[in-house]
Structure 1
Amino acid sequence: MPAPPARTVLTHEDLLPHTAEPWPQPGAGRTADRWTALRDLATRDLPLVKLVEPHHDAAAILQDLGLPGPAADEIWAVWAAEPPFAVLTATQHDDGWTLSGTKAFCSGASLVTHALVTAETDDGSRLFAVDVGAEGIHPDGGARPWTGAGMRRAGTATLTFERVAARPVGAAGAYVDRPGFWLGAIGIAVCWIGGACGVAATLEAAADRLDPHGRAHLGATRSALDTAWLAIRGAADLVDDEDLDGVRAERLAQSLRAHAADVAATVVEHVDRALGPGPLAFDAAHAEHVHDLQVFVRQHHAERDLARLGSLEVIRDA
């Protein structure tokens, strides 16, 4: 029997069942439900959760900053990457703000209806809301196309903005200064854990035919994933029960993200060592999921994020 083909490019209709209804807001009493939904979706389809998670993150951001959330027929993105090779600038005019420049790593650029984007102002980085269908937004013809195997179905593009009308969302710095920023960062770590669960599913499916070494690898993946999920569930209870300040929220998020990144790498390695090259060579869906996960986890900045974690002030009861 031939292996199942890799999945097709995502469409607007793929997203709607997961975005039409609001999700529980993080820190509002049902955080575990929100993070469980992210994990389960990531287990099945990482590019899909790569677009669904920002929509619900945008809803949380808008609520935190006192603005109405997305309408039922809208799909929102959050484009906040600020690499040095792509700079977006906001300019205030008598009749409002406009954005000009380039924005990289715009996932779902052809699928979403609206986006929250960061742009440089005289006061520093600031968040703006834009209608993605507005005049003046188009693909950057000079940008390199996405050619990697991972996350190709997420439709990530570099976009050029030419005097695009935009609405400010909070003051300069408000987007990252709120504790909710770090709850959203934990949501990404939950997606990495879910993605690792999807990789481990290939090993679980082979459990009956594993030799003792293979069973040891399966045990290692279960240990990594079980303890990671216990940490996530504990964090969900913590953020629901306590009003975390910025430092505590950041420390929690940085620790969980580092752990989740390590777990993802551990699971991929154990599945590879247990099953050999077969799944990567002959199972298109598994190979695609592995590549998707490896690209997604690179949102963790490795030693740079660990150095930041090590620089945070000591919290005695952490």
Structure 2
Amino acid sequence: MHANSSSQHASTKPPLPEQGGQIGYENTTVTKVPGWHGIIAWDALLNGMAMGLFLAAAVSELAAPAVFIGVAKVAYPVALVLLLVDLVLLVLDLGDPLRFHHMLRVFKPSSPMSLGTWCLTIFSLPLTAAAALSVLAKLGWDFERARLLAVVVGLLPGFGAAAYKGVLLSTNAQPGWKDARWLGGYLTNSALLMGCAELLVLSAVMRQTQAIAILRTAFIVLLILNMIPLGLLFANLRTIHAQLYTRGQQWRVGALIAVGALIPLGLILLNGGLLSISVAVIFLLADSWLVRSVYVKIPHTSPLEVRSGE
């Protein structure tokens, strides 16, 4: 019985890499492949959309309340819906609903996972309050000071919740992720960009012309700035890209990412109408999902992982 289980355990091990005629794992990264597939890319996208929309609406409202108060009161409930969907995906990603609860039993500031879990949990409270009070204001019950207090309280944990996922992945031991030092910077700036884009769509739907004019400029600036961490991220992973993908695959993905950035930029520059803004935001979200999908799946494409069940 013991010998049989030992042989089964041995069969799950990958072949030993050869190094100059010798067999061994020295200087070779071998890790167990994560137990998720495409779901984390959607989790990362919705996380950025929810946090980004809240942060964009909060900063805009606090900076220019006369211009943005109306659209902000719509943005907070939308951000809450996005967060709830994201939390469902996060629980599915963890595989066990209780795992999220267990992570809250300990607060460890040095752990990106612990810090991110607490930021996400704390952020959900002021976001829920801001969303609920915004809906009540539409119904005639106005608690403006309490709503603004909830918005201010949500800023810091909201930023932490937007940033933690990239930091978590880049401090992971998985091949590719551990070299992606700019992944946190990209995901954070991308969240702000997506939030600005979402707020721009809501402003266009509500025909808030002054808000549209301001947000178009902010969108263009953030889109251009987003190219900096994305370019640095590509530079971080140039070696791993060459190992995992053919030159043709790299060019095709790079072309899709470039098109996904240039088309929104052109549409926003040329036209501020609802249709142009909506198409631009759709291209931007597709582009953001593509980047996340490529980078979060790197361990699944690595020949150095240990696949369970093989």
**TM-score, structure 2 normalization:** 0.28
**TM-score, structure 1 normalization:** 0.28
The higher-RCO structure (CA 8 Å, 6+ apart) is 2
Larger Rg: 2
The structure where strand makes up a greater share of residues is: 1
